[in-house]
Structure 1
Amino acid sequence: MKLYHHPLSGHSHRARLFLSLLSIPHELVLVDLAKGAHKAPDFLKLNPFGQVPVLDDDGTIVTDSVAILVYLAKKQRRTDWLPEEPLAAAKVQKWLSVAAGEIAYGPAAARLITVFGANFRPEEVLTRANNILKQIDATLTQQDFIASAKPTIADVALYSYIASAPEGNVDLSSYAHVRAWLKRIEALPGFVEFQKTPVGLAA
């Protein structure tokens, strides 16, 4: 397998992390976003949206980070990471939607301001970030992982942008259950770290 990625992309890290957690051999292919490689004709043939990550599984192309998580779990038949039972599957899907919604427009957007100079209103994205972190922290008072007692792809989808939230000036100090959850993810066999950037509260 090949994973087209960028080390500062949380979406890319999700896919790389899950590949590593599943011990799937893969080649990392750097896409130089600063030089516009994601908009080059050859890359756009892989993903017309011009976004990383892209998974190339021996010619089968999968785009979108969450879609890659689902694809890998299904292909590897890892029902521990993506349950088949209806309610358990629904719980995972709920948090995948949060990853694409509240996380993307909260902690991820806050980090885009400091790391990439994105033109968002800091007070708005910080409010959204803290609102969702409060909900996640409350959920984690009941269980060790976000959708169940064991890790699922929902945890993988949420991890990268929550772990890097301080880079976007999102303070995690008051979210004890979130911080404990981060440590549990980081203790999983095969964990790979998301590259840090010394900005925001992480400066």
Structure 2
Amino acid sequence: MKLYHFPLSGHAHRAVLFLSLLGVKAELIEVDIPNGEHKSPEYLKINPFGQVPVLDDDGVIVNDSTAILVYVAKKLGRKDWLPDDLPSVAKVQKWLAVAAGEIAYGPAAARLITVFGANFRPEEVIARAHRILTLIDAELEKHRFIIGDRPTIADIALYSYIVNAPEGNVDLTPYQEVRSWLARIEALPGFVEFRKTAAGLAA
């Protein structure tokens, strides 16, 4: 497997982290996003969206972070990470949707402002971040991980942009359950850190 990534991308970190947790020895290829490599004709042949990450599994191209999580879990038969009973499937899918929705337009967007200079309204995206963090904190009062007492790909999809939310001026101090959950993920064998930047509250 080859994984095209960028170290400051939370989407890419999801894939890097999951592969590492599973002990998959993928070739990591860093895409030079600051110099526009992701918009080059060569890269656009791999991913017409011009984004990272992209997984190349011997010619099978998967170019969405949550799709990569599903693909790898299914390929390796890891039902511990992607259960196949219908209630669990529904719960995992719900939180993958949250990762692509409320997380992307909340803490991820807030971080894009401070780290990459994105043109979002800080007050809107920070407020959105706190709304979803409040819901996640309440959910984590019920069990150790987001759908139960074992981690799933839903936890991996949520982790990266939450752990670095302070870079976008989103304070995690009020969310004790969230902070404990982050620590539990970081204690998993094979964990790899999402690179931090001196931005926002982390400056």
- TM-score category by the smaller chain? over 0.9
**Matching residue of 2:76:** 76
The CA deviation string for residues 31-59 of structure 1, in whole angstroms up to 9 with x for no partner, is: 01111100101110110000000001111
Shift in Å at residue 148 of structure 1? 1.4
**1:30 pairs with 2:30:** yes
The aligned runs of 1:112-131 (5 Å cut-off) are 112-131=112-131
Instruction: Provide the C-alpha distance between the structure 2 equivalents of 1:39 and 1:148, rounded to a whole number of angstroms.
Output: 40
**1:3 pairs with 2:6:** no
- Secondary structure of 1:195's aligned partner: coil
The aligned runs of 1:1-203 (5 Å cut-off) are 1-203=1-203
Instruction: Provide the C-alpha distance between the structure 2 equivalents of 1:69 and 1:92, rounded to a whole number of angstroms.
Output: 11
Task: In structure 2, give the amino acid aligned to 1:118.
Answer: A
Task: In structure 1, give the amino acid aligned to 2:5.
Answer: H
Shift in Å at residue 149 of structure 1? 1.1
- TM-score normalised by structure 2 residue count: 0.99
Task: In structure 2, give the amino acid aligned to 1:166.
Answer: P
- Secondary structure of 1:15's aligned partner: helix
Shift in Å at residue 95 of structure 1? 0.3
- Secondary structure of 1:97's aligned partner: helix
- Secondary structure of 1:17's aligned partner: helix
- Secondary structure of 1:4's aligned partner: strand
Task: In structure 1, give the amino acid aligned to 2:140.
Answer: L
Task: In structure 2, give the amino acid aligned to 1:130.
Answer: H
Shift in Å at residue 72 of structure 1? 0.2
Instruction: Provide the C-alpha distance between the structure 2 equivalents of 1:138 and 1:132, rounded to a whole number of angstroms.
Output: 10
* Identity score, percent: 71
Task: In structure 2, give the amino acid aligned to 1:152.
Answer: T
Task: In structure 2, give the amino acid aligned to 1:52.
Answer: V
- Paired residue total: 203
Task: In structure 1, give the amino acid aligned to 2:79.
Answer: T
Instruction: Provide the C-alpha distance between the structure 1 equivalents of 2:2 and 2:197, rounded to a whole number of angstroms.
Output: 25
The CA deviation string for residues 82-123 of structure 1, in whole angstroms up to 9 with x for no partner, is: 010000110010000000000000000000000000000000
Instruction: Provide the C-alpha distance between the structure 1 equivalents of 2:147 and 2:92, rounded to a whole number of angstroms.
Output: 6
